[in-house]
Chains A and B, each alone.
Chain A
Amino acid sequence: MNTLTDAWEWLTDPVHWPGPDGIAHRLLEHLVLTVVCLVVSCLVALPVALVLGHLGKGGALAVNISNVGRAVPTFAVLVLLLLTPVGRWGEGPTVVALVLFAVPPLLTNAYVGMREVDRGVVQAARGMGMTGRQMLFHVELPLSLPMVLTGVRIAAVQLVATATIAALAGGGGLGRIITAGFNLASTPQVVAGAVLVAGLALVVEGLFGLVERLAPRWARGAP
């Protein structure tokens, strides 16, 4: 209990908020890192998954890639990248490692969502003379949107959580507060950093839940 009050005091101490090592800057770094990685991984994963799902090909690949992704530690990927030429681009290794980490859930969910679209509906669309592109954008995509968005939510929450690891390799973000706390042997600071990260992850999870609840009709597509 004592540590918790100490952590709270550390967190609410105005000294710890401003400056390049301050909470405000670290929070911003964390958010920017997460958003950039989420956007990049969506741009990489979603088109591939949608096209594969539309064509009905590469299913084994899409599903297995998420199992493989789980087995490869992000921390190891991050350090490996850090030691390659990519390591010289500042936040480059972090972004690449996090994108590699976020692509599997996006890919798998979008692919499964596309394949779970009722085959009868797809055949009806084809019978109405829709082209492949029309079927993809007007039938399959709207119907699979809930699954696609679930994948985006999972990826976003995991990115917020995993971006912490960037600090172990000298990157920015809230993880730096934790690693700095470890280096200073300051348990209140470590706990305060952990509370911030955990809180941020829960807020992102909650936000996505809220968005899903607010836009159910649109997200489910017109029947």
Chain B
Amino acid sequence: MSASSGRDARTGHHNETAPGTSRCNGEVTAPPDDCLARNEWICGEYLSTRREILQDAVVQHLQLTAASVLIALVVALPLALLARRRWAAGPVLAVTTVLYTIPSLAMFSLLLPVYGLSASLVVAGLVLYSLTLLVRNILAGLRAVPEETRQAARGLGYGPIRLLLTVELPLALPAAMAGLRIATVSAVSLLTVGAIVGFGGLGNLIYAGMNTYFKAQVLTASVLCVVIAVAADLLLLGVQRLITPWTRAARG
């Protein structure tokens, strides 16, 4: 009985109490004071014992980020095309800028009556947030296509749709991809705020770790978050290189 109560005291997350208790009791039967019991920042034990929780959180993080960025991309493309018309440019850019200004936590809260406490709430919030970056960059890319190129394509008999799909969009790709990379990295990082509704991927672990003073969990989840962001950025950079081979050829 006394051993188990001693053990409780040691697994309680207080750095100072743990070693003191073990010395007073002199018990060896209680589990060793590993890094979990000592509540250390870096803890291999945490990685091995909480593998499944971490995996689930990473999977949720990846799924929600991917879903929101892809949906945002699908919505942003027509909006950018619309914004090329002179009359639509002002309203489209104004609305997306206002959406961008609204804080993520507030965005999730504003959408609460529509979606309730669900993953769709977080995805919808991130979609609205990413729209600005994507629309702006796609539009900038399309506007940067030289008029001569457009005229040359028209001279070759290209119709408007073929011109858009085979000339303008490919030439707008580098700018669009730059926007996509920024949007993805931001989404990975903002998703953590979704913890307030329970769908924050790794943010859930950070939130739970904060309430229980679980240092290893907070640090591990934060580092994984940054790793995911950097990996996603590099992946998109690789994709960009693959689909725009001419930019490398031009540079030499």
Contacts and interface: CB of A to CB of B under 8 A. Distances in A.
Interface string A172-195: 000100110110000100110111
A194 B210 contact: no
Contacts of B185: 67, 70-71
B206 A79 contact: yes
B219 interface: yes
A10 interface: no
A222 B195 CA distance: 50
Nearest to B188: A71
A72 B226 contact: yes
A202 to B, nearest CB: 6
Contact of A80 (B113, B189, B218): B218
B104 A161 contact: yes
Contact of A75 (B106, B113, B203, B219): B203
Nearest to B233: A71
B167 interface: no
Contact of B105 (A71, A72, A164): A164
A31 B27 CA distance: 53
B209 interface: yes
B206 A195 contact: no
A201 B196 contact: no
Contacts of A82: 210
A147 B222 CA distance: 32
A168 B98 contact: no
Contacts of B112: 187, 190-191
Contacts of A3: 113
A195 B110 CA distance: 7
Interface in A64-78: 67, 70-77
Contact of B110 (A67, A83, A161, A191): A191
Interface residues on chain B, size class: 35 or more
A168 B196 contact: yes
A83 B214 CA distance: 8
A75 B192 contact: yes
B106 A178 contact: yes
A41 B194 CA distance: 27
A83 B196 contact: no
A46 interface: no
Interface string B62-91: 000000000000000000000000000000
Given A168-B193, A198-B107, 16 more contacts: A3-B113, A73-B193, A73-B226, A74-B189, A76-B221, A76-B222, A164-B103, A165-B193, A168-B196, A182-B197, A187-B112, A190-B112, A194-B106, A194-B110, A198-B110, A202-B98
Contacts of A202: 98, 101-102
A194 B114 CA distance: 14
A157 B209 CA distance: 29
Contacts of A212: none
A-B pairs, 6 with minimum CB distance: A161-B103, A194-B109, A76-B222, A71-B229, A194-B106, A3-B113
B102 A73 contact: no
Contacts of B206: 73, 75-76, 79
Contacts of A167: 105
A132 B225 CA distance: 43
Contacts of B221: 76
Contacts of B171: none
Interface in B185-243: 185-186, 188-190, 192-193, 195-197, 203, 206-207, 209-210, 213, 215, 218-219, 221-222, 225-226, 229-230, 233
A70 B188 CA distance: 9
B3 interface: no
Given A79-B218, A201-B102, A73 B107 contact: no
A72 B113 contact: no
Contacts of A181: 109
A209 B225 CA distance: 34
B106 A205 contact: no
Nearest to A76: B222
A178 B226 contact: no
B182 interface: yes
